[in-house]
Amino acid sequence: ASITPLKTAFASYFPIGTAFTNDEMYGENANLMKKHFASVTPGNALKWDATEPTEGSFNFTSSDEAVQFAVDNGMKVRGHTLVWHNQTPNWVFYDSNSQLVTKEVLYARLKAHIDAVVGRYKGKIYAWDVANEVIDESQSDGMRRSLWYQIAGDEYIEKAFEYAHAADPDAKLFINDYNTHIPAKAQFLHDLVQRLKAKGVPIDGIGEQTHINIDYPALSQIEDSIVKFSDLGVTQEITELDMSIYTSSSQSYTSLSTTLATQQATRYAALFEIFKKYKDQISNVTFWGQDDAHSWLRTSPVTRLDWPLLFDDNLQSKSAYWSLVNALTVP
């Protein structure tokens, strides 16, 4: 039987995307990607440590290959990410005496980086995760105490959006975060976007990463956040979807049982019912990988296996895949 491509199954709802690493641009992984996905996100190739490891010395080898692969195959590209507290080289924040730089120096470095990276892919990358994971709901003001924040307060966020907009006025600009189902976190994120909009900062959307597991969170919490954000006049994209089979750190399985595979499939289907219901708010749904073997949850050193995605280690469709496609297929 022929397998319905995911992108075809969801064509009337939203583009379906996947993150990928450059080793997936060849062979069977490439075929799977071209068949099923309308949109891709380079998982690491566009991050600061990859593109500008030392000041002013850019390395676009991996990112050029990744973006060209997508363009050649007619896939949209999400750019990930411009401002983050991880995978950002230390030189960005420090001077030659190992002191934190002034915010003026930080902004000059940020602008030079964004000009180069966003400018290079102008017209090829339709959306950028401009600011990634800036919310920390345990802080009274909700702002993560990153080096960005320590140097510049929360102003660096609007600078990043302004620089990105100047570098590519047509790109859709996102603020992206995880655990957006947590009500306090969602509220801080909502209110930050509201303040940015009120100031005229060019922000187009909220990215909801959606790294979840087979039991947590309640899907109603995910829905509540989608609804909460819908009064902001911005679009929403599900940017990094996956579903670990683990509900506690003490668990460790050597294979995916039928019971767990079925539970995962049922939950993925229910989650997509929510996404479909809010298709007018949601402009993309991207998985954080195609097959389980390439999941970040297997990043070395792999301490335990996990099976969070739609395709198995051999690139075969899992129950999770069928639950999504069958839910749309007229028998």
Contact residues toward ligand G3I (CB under 6 A) are 43-44, 86-87, 178, 209, 240, 296, 299-300
Closer residue to ligand G3I, CB minimum distance, 296 or 322: 296
133 is known as an active-site residue: yes
Q: Exposed (0-12), middle (13-18) or buried (19+): which is 39, by Cβ within 10 Å?
A: buried
Q: What is the DSSP string of 209-263?
A: --EEESS-S-HHHHHHHHHHHTTSS-EEEEEEEEEES-SSTT---SS--HHHHHH
Closer residue to ligand G3I, CB minimum distance, 107 or 242: 242
Closer residue to ligand G3I, CB minimum distance, 239 or 283: 239
Please report how close the Cβ of residue 299 comes to ligand G3I at its closest, in angstroms: 5
Which is catalytic among the residues 162, 208, 237, 240? 240
Closer residue to ligand G3I, CB minimum distance, 107 or 128: 128
Count each helix (H run) and each strand (E run) in the chain, helices first: 11, 9
Which is catalytic among the residues 52, 133, 158, 237? 133
Report the distance separating Cα 134 and Cα 116, nearest Å.
23
Please report how close the Cβ of residue 86 comes to ligand G3I at its closest, in angstroms: 5
- 232 within 8 A of 189, measured Cβ to Cβ: no
Nearest residue to ligand G3I, scored by beta-carbon proximity? 296
Closer residue to ligand G3I, CB minimum distance, 41 or 281: 41
- 16 within 8 A of 36, measured Cβ to Cβ: yes
Closer residue to ligand G3I, CB minimum distance, 44 or 194: 44
Please report how close the Cβ of residue 177 comes to ligand G3I at its closest, in angstroms: 9
Report the distance separating Cα 48 and Cα 58, nearest Å.
9
Q: What share of the chain is helix, strand, coil (3-state, %, to 5)?
A: 40, 20, 40
104 is known as an active-site residue: no
Report the distance separating Cα 268 and Cα 56, nearest Å.
43
Please report how close the Cβ of residue 284 comes to ligand G3I at its closest, in angstroms: 16
Please report how close the Cβ of residue 79 comes to ligand G3I at its closest, in angstroms: 12
Report the distance separating Cα 127 and Cα 182, nearest Å.
25
Q: For residue 276, which of 287, 285, 267 has the smallest C-alpha distance?
A: 285
Q: At what angle do helices 103-120 and 155-167 cross, to 10 degrees?
A: 30
Alpha-carbon dihedral of residues 278, 281, 285, 286, nearest 10 degrees?
A: -150
Please report how close the Cβ of residue 122 comes to ligand G3I at its closest, in angstroms: 22
Q: Which residues are catalytic, by number? A: 133, 240
